[in-house]
Amino acid sequence: MRAYQDMVFSTAARITGNETQAEDISQEVFLKAHAHFDNLRTSPTAGGWLKTVATNLSLNHLTRYRNRWKFFSELKRDDAESDAPEVEFAAPDTFFSGVDADERREWVERALENLPAHQRVPLVLYHFEDLPYDEIAAKLGVSLAKVKTDILRARTALAKILQRGGTARETLET
């Protein structure tokens, strides 16, 4: 458990955007792991199994409460969504100069928290969980065009949040 607790928690926190929910999901993941302990104890793929369970439980949690959410982007008709070309997210070359990896990770984590769930979830699944667009669409029960649009918008919003470097530093220091 100690070897994987940070990975399980960060997976759940990135997807849900809520540390309290991530703690609950992490507990549930390890309860499931305990039930399968005999199989996982000697398995070289235990980490992958835990990450998959954490991802699925986080998505299930979001789906369970989806009816309570009203996303602006979901009010559009599917055929109105853009199938815009892929845009690579890149921070300016000088943005992270003089910043260590831990601080950079913290900035990105904080910036992710500021994204709406309908953008954060597909972005995390694509960039942190390495899922292809079609699998993300299937897991979330939305169209492929919506996944691409939400990821594109999330990258743009994330770039704007990170470009407010002074704001990010002030947020972290408080």
pLDDT, tens digit, 9 for 90 and up, residues 70-113: 333 343 434 444 444 443 444 444 444 455 566 777 777 888 88
Ranges of CATH 1.10.10.10 domains, the chain: 89-173
Ranges of CATH 1.10.1740 domains, the chain: 5-67
In percent, the amount of the chain with pLDDT more than 90 equals 24
Please choose, from the candidates 115, 121, 102, the residue with its C-alpha nearest in 3D space to the C-alpha of residue 172. Answer: 102
Threshold 0.85, pTM exceeds: no
What topology does CATH give the domain 89-173?
Answer: Arc Repressor Mutant, subunit A (1.10.10)
Q: Report pLDDT digits (tens) over 154-165.
A: 888 888 887 776
The CATH number of 5-67 is which of 1.10.10, 1.10.1740, 1.10.357, 1.20.120?
1.10.1740
Burial 43-82 (b: 16+ CB within 10 A, else e): eeebeebbbebbbebbbebbeeeeeeeeeeeeeeeeeebe
